Amino acid sequence: MTEYKTIKVENLDIFYRESGDVNKPTMVLFHGFPSASHMFRNLMPELEDRFHLIAPDYPGFGQSESPDHTKFEYTFDHLSEIMGKFLEKLSINKFYMYVFDYGAPIGFKIAVKHPDWIKRIISQNGNVYQEGLGSKWATRQDFWDNPTEEKRSSYKNAFAPETIIGQYTFGTREGVVSPDGYMLDIAYTHGKDYDQRQLDLIFDYQNNIKSYPIFQKYLRENQPKLLAVWGKNDPSFIYPGAEAFKKDDKNVEVDLVDSGHFALETHAKVIASMIKSFF
């Protein structure tokens, strides 16, 4: 049974889901954009017989507190710092790490800082290589290199309803993706200050790409057992990003599933089976 909890971290209410036996290995699941821990709602029941599962919402996402962007630094360094303190508050210092989308830089920043915390890694469309960047990133590079208020405002389309629905459904067969996930994500976009905090993070994403060599160095030096499972039709983080892990880590298995960015929406049971088989 999944339980729904909130804990104070740095004076912020951080929401998280927890399931499984605390005496079994812990797996921490780091969600992506524009979602929150509900993206793991189908995966957690499939894994709770083998793992103790923790899935937090970052500040500014889901059910966690969302400070005003003028009073809180919405950067990936800051989110990873808060998530690290969240884990310390729960006395979690040895865990399997599942990263997806935004969860990849957040999780890998924690891994770089605390390599002894990480037992194994599952990266599901969680990119840390130039090879994994789809064509949209060229446009974002122009925004990062030459930022203007007009360009910043244009990125509100990244969380328009039609964009969010497309993130879920592109690359999947018609009728196989439930509307539950994307409708909840769309509902969250109506929260106060949502657009500004997300635009802050879109601008800061450039620093994640600059950190790719640091993440790759972590892999080379620590050689964690890593499962790269990818929705192969994802246009945002393309599947060569999964294959690229093999350049730096000899303990990698790559599995491609016939899905898009949010592969758990269609392949939660399949991905759970892959995790249990590999680990």
Q: Is residue 234 within 8 Å of 256, Cβ to Cβ?
A: no
State how far the Cα of 241 lies from the Cα of 128, in Å rounded to an integer: 7
Strand 95-99 versus strand 118-124 pairing type: parallel
3-state secondary structure of 78: helix
Q: Give the distance from CA 36 to its chain's centroid.
A: 9
Active site (annotated) includes residue 31: no
Q: Within a 13 Å sphere around the CA of 151, how many CA atoms are in the beta-carbon half? A: 12
Catalytic residue among 52, 69, 261, 267: 261
Cα–Cα–Cα angle for 171, 173, 175, rounded to 5 degrees: 125
Phi, psi of 265 (to 5 degrees): -65, -25
Q: Which helix (H) or strand (E) holds 13?
A: strand 12-19
State how far the Cα of 89 lies from the Cα of 128, in Å rounded to an integer: 27
Beta-bridge mates of residue 53? 19, 27
Q: Give the distance from CA 54 to its chain's centroid.
A: 13
> What residues are annotated to the active site?
261
